[in-house]
A and B are shown apart, each in its own frame.
Chain A
Amino acid sequence: MILVVLDHDGSKLRKGSLEALTRARKLAEALGAKVAGVLLAEGPAPVEEARGYVDTLYVAELGPYTAEQWAAGVLEAAKAGAKVILVPSSRQSRAYLGRVAYALKAGLLEDTLDSWTEGEWVYATRYAYLNRVTQKVRSGLPAVLTVKPNTTPLAEPLGGQGEVVALSVPSVPTVEVLERVQEEKKGVSLTEADVVVTGGRGMGSAEAFQKVEELALLLGGAVGATRAVVDAGWRPYAEQVGQTGKTVQPSLYIALGVSGAVQHLAGMNKSKFIVAVNKDPEAPIFKQADYGIVGDVHQVLPALIQAVKKLKD
């Protein structure tokens, strides 16, 4: 069996789950195995939608997320004999899968760009060294893979409705969630967005990000931020791009008032096209940019918004 952990927002599957399913079907065909899914949920879960993609769907309602509880859920589903476990890459999935891999004595291939099999080996490509090096890696079976967002075509439903199996997962009471500090979610998710508009310290203030939001909305994209901006409290940490933030790989990345420090580049240097606006022609970000404007972001950004509006009309 190839097991896919289906990520969701309580009402529908996330795009990353459909990418993981595509990967799973390819591996399943090569290994002569079936694809099963597992839905782990704090509360409601999109069971009906998920059944459309797999023959067997394991479901468990686990209460508040903890790494221990989610690892226990995956391990319970894997008991049916998972050769490969595929999971959409996210901060949370990568924070519990180390447990799963250790418990199963499995090889862990994180944030994979592509995956395939040869004999009893699973191969993958991935980035390393702060996103600068491409590695080809392999593991024997069993293997646990996380699937990097925006790398794989989305799976189509199968046309039938898979069997639903309720999992009974032992409760692991070692971590108690006291209080969620939920950040406001606006528009598309940063890691899945096809356009990211990031503001840096050069934006000058939290208020100036209204214009960043406006451009992102116009382009159907998400807002990103540098660490300097997050440290200043102008934007939430969930929007930070870079070594300690999120890694994004959109078709278009627009960096406004961003210097281009290596720790920031680590989160966006694989974007298809990079645009930079900076008043300093020597800013390192220009070396990484396909297109750039040397100028004051307070003048260039409103002009950009107007120009995009004009194009859309």
Chain B
Amino acid sequence: MKVVAVIRQVPDGESRLKIQGGRVDLSGATLILDQMDEYGVEEALRLKEKHGGEAVVVGFGPERTEEAIRTALAMGMDRGVHVVFEGYADPVTVAEALAPVLKEEAPTLVLTGGQQADWDSQALGAALAEALGVPVVAWTTALELEGETARAKHDLDEGAEWVRVRLPAVFTTQQGLNEPRYPTLPGIMKAKKKEIRKVAFQGGARVEILEESIQEKARLQKVLDGKDPVAAAEELVRLLHEEAKVI
């Protein structure tokens, strides 16, 4: 069995974003392995521990993405492939860029995060599945292998369901699926020696970002003291009715 975890590097949600020349400037931001993808890395490791085989991490993005690939290797992935591309590529283009690598690797399962914390896109899993001609299960919270098929639980708009899916297949991952492990010191040492194969991508994106801006709404920040809860509640309701006009 072979499992591929597809990952990207994104800014940490806590780090402040800057705009430079109408685009997000990440030079000062802390960059991390996308937490949603981390669930995919963890699941790949668990599947390997249970069923044997190989766990490969495939990263897409600029040169610096190698750091995130190393993090996945330090968690325990066997080896890495890095499809190098500077600049913006929309998720459908990313799937196009990764398709040759994934076809060559021919994994039983492909795992990737349900949403990316930079473009807030949820499309990569489905686009990868289309590129490979295999099914996709989105927002997976439980996954078990059963020979040629897998049984998975995943979220819908209202509720959830259990499905049986033919392998190979793509699964998008999220909270609830597992608790990702931290890289250990020996893990980090070993990761330094693990192979990362570099692949260039020459394509162009289908979607262009023309401008980015941060428009934080100035909040009124009118905070009332709740020592007298009845008085505070009545004042709040008055403000919502008369000032904000929302009730």
Beta-carbon contacts under 8 Å, A253-274 to B: 262-263, 266, 269-270, 272-274
Known: A110-B120, A133-B213. A67 touches B163 (CB 8 A): no
- Asked if B27 is an interface residue, CB under 8 A from chain A, the answer is no
Main secondary structure of the interface of B (DSSP, over half): mixed
23 contacts between A and B (CB under 8 A): A67-B137, A95-B122, A98-B130, A102-B126, A108-B90, A108-B127, A129-B118, A134-B215, A174-B169, A175-B163, A180-B160, A181-B153, A227-B175, A238-B158, A244-B175, A252-B246, A275-B236, A286-B223, A290-B220, A294-B225, A302-B229, A306-B230, A307-B230
Inter-chain residue pair count (beta carbon < 8 A):
289
Contact stretch, chosen from B56-64, B73-81, B100-108, B203-211: B203-211
Taking beta carbons and an 8 Å cutoff, which residues of A are in contact with B? 65-68, 71, 90-92, 94-99, 101-103, 105-111, 123, 126-140, 172, 174-183, 185, 195, 219, 227, 236-238, 243-244, 251-252, 262-263, 266, 269-270, 272-275, 277, 281, 286-296, 299-300, 302-304, 306-308, 310-311
Q: How long is the Cα–Cα vector from A89 to B36 in the complex, in angstroms?
A: 20
B247 touches A99 (CB 8 A): no
Check A130 against B120 for contact (C-beta < 8 Å): yes
> How far is it, in angstroms, between the C-alpha of A206 and the C-alpha of B11 when the chains are bound?
34
Q: Does B212 contact A127, Cβ atoms closer than 8 Å? A: no
The complex places the Cα of A270 from the Cα of B153 at a distance, in Å, of 31
Q: Given the interface contacts A110-B120, A178-B163, A306-B233, does A98 sit within 8 Å of B92 by beta carbon?
A: yes
A96 (CB) vs chain B CBs: closest residue: B126
**Sample of 15 further A-B pairs with CB below 8 A, known A134-B213, A273-B246:** A66-B163, A91-B122, A98-B125, A98-B126, A101-B123, A107-B92, A108-B123, A129-B11, A136-B209, A288-B219, A293-B226, A295-B232, A303-B229, A303-B234, A307-B230
Report the contact-size class of chain B (Cβ under 8 Å from the partner): 35 or more
Q: Is the CB of A102 within 8 A of B131?
A: yes
- B contact set with A: CB distance below 8 Å: 11, 13-14, 17, 19, 24, 36, 90-92, 95-96, 114-115, 117-131, 134-139, 151, 153, 155-166, 169, 172, 174-176, 206-217, 219-227, 229-230, 232-234, 236-237, 239-241, 244, 246-247
List the A residue with the shortest CB-CB distance to B156. Answer: A92
Point out the residue from B123, B134, B240 that lies within 8 Å of A174, measured CB to CB.
B134
| Residue in A closest to B125 when the chains form the complex, CB atoms | A98
